[in-house]
């Protein structure tokens, strides 16, 4: 059982605010992802939970017990870092075993624990090798096994996949997902990669400049972004956003007209996702513009047009054929649109 409570936690260095008033309860066995760009405070938040940084304000509780003043080793958390932090002079077996020796765990149990952890991450054939003889993906799996062997209350993972190439990232991501299901241990995972967040998380915390922008399931955050920052950060490609004016339920901008919307008159930002729009249904052309670029993705063609100063992407069928510069009509019905306040960027609920 490991419920983690962050009560109005903050971190400041002089006048610089790293994390501001972070308030959250992470349920036992939950997989929570902290997502945001570099410098948004996600790693600082994790390091405060681990005890590697002191919180300037607020309380951190694990299982109802305040841990602010506890040393990292007394918090029963295991961290997996972006850099694998392995001991080069020890083989894989000894690297995985090391936390057991440090914690004074009965040596008679070591072999069984090490072999169980290595089997979980498929390292049985590499136990005799030194880290220098391993690939990046194998090293990261040693780091995972070293965290697993401790049987901690909480796993903390700080961008563990960012040093891996694209193919390894996918397979290691699947392994982490399966491990979290098998181990059923509370996990906090830091990343700037929204695909990792969407695929791994039970809930996602989107952060910007030390402040939580939105908290919810991956589906909530994708389908109903709380503001334009979240809308532009989640999704591949990100949500299309256009500034324009509402008048009597109609949104208008350069070469754009969408009717049937519900928002007060005045300046607004309209958003829609590339996969929700279509290419020119008869009599339903909300946007007409020349093609800026075409990208064949294999399962689809991404068509990008330029409207005003913005690039707008639409997902077309894979057999769509056209040329850069050709004029296309995009279908953007009101039902797929999201509206945001022009000044604050906050979502306008219909």
> Residue 116 CB: number of other CB atoms within 10 A?
13
Cβ pair 213, 219 in contact under 8 A = no
Do 127 and 91 contact (CB within 8 A), yes or no? yes
Query: Are 97 and 153 a contacting pair, CB within 8 Å?
Result: no
Residues of the chain with pLDDT under 50: 282
Q: How many residues does the chain have?
A: 350
Q: Where are the alpha helices (DSSP H) in the chain?
A: 42-50, 92-102, 110-120, 136-148, 166-183, 194-200, 218-223, 228-233
Q: Give the model's pLDDT for residue 168.
A: 83
Q: What is the pLDDT of residue 99?
A: 92
DSSP 161: T
pLDDT in the model for residue 285: 64
Q: Which pLDDT score, from 0 to 100, does residue 284 have?
A: 59
Alpha-carbon torsion 8, 13, 15, 19, what sign?
Answer: negative
| SS3 state at 127 | coil
Is-contact 347 311, C-beta < 8 A?
no
CB 280 within 8 Å of CB 328: yes
Tokens of 117: 């952890």
pTM above 0.85, yes or no: yes
What are 102's two structure tokens?
Answer: 């440090």
Strands 31-35 and 203-208: parallel
Q: Which domains, ranges and CATH numbers included, belong to the chain?
A: 4-228 (3.40.50.300), 237-348 (2.40.50.140)
Q: Are 153 and 2 in contact (CB under 8 A)?
A: yes
């Amino acid at each position: 059982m490991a419920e983690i409570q962050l009560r109005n936690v903050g971190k400041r260095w002089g006048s610089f605010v790293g994390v501001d008033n972070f308030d959250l309860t992470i349920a036992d066995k939950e997989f929570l992802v902290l997502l945001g760009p570099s410098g948004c405070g996600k790693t600082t938040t994790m390091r405060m939970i681990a005890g590697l940084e002191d919180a300037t304000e607020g309380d951190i509780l694990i299982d109802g017990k305040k841990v602010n003043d506890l040393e990292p080793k007394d918090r029963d958390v295991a961290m997996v870092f972006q850099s694998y932090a392995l001991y080069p002079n020890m083989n894989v077996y000894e690297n995985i075993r090391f936390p057991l020796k440090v914690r004074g765990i009965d040596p008679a149990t070591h072999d069984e624990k090490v072999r169980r952890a290595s089997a979980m991450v498929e390292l049985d054939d590499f136990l005799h090798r030194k880290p220098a003889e391993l690939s990046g993906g194998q090293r990261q799996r040693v780091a995972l096994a070293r965290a697993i062997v401790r049987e901690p209350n909480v796993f903390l993972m700080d961008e563990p996949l960012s040093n891996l190439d694209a193919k390894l990232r996918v397979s290691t991501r699947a392994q982490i997902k399966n491990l979290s299901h098998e181990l059923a241990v509370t996990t906090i995972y830091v990343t700037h990669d929204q695909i990792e967040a969407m695929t791994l998380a039970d809930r996602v915390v989107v952060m910007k400049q030390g402040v939580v922008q939105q908290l919810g399931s991956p589906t909530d955050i994708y389908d109903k972004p709380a503001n334009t920052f979240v809308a532009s950060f989640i999704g591949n490609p990100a949500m299309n956003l256009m500034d324009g004016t509402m008048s009597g339920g109609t949104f208008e901008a350069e070469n754009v007209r969408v009717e049937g919307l519900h928002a007060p008159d005045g300046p607004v930002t309209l958003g829609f996702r590339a996969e929700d729009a279509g290419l020119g249904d008869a009599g339903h052309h909300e946007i007409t513009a020349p093609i800026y670029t075409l990208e064949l993705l294999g399962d689809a063609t991404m068509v990008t047009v330029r409207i005003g100063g913005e690039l707008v992407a639409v997902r077309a069928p894979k057999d769509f054929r056209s040329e850069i510069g050709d004029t296309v009509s995009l279908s953007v019905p009101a039902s797929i649109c999201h509206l945001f306040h022009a000044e604050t960027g906050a979502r306008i609920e219909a």
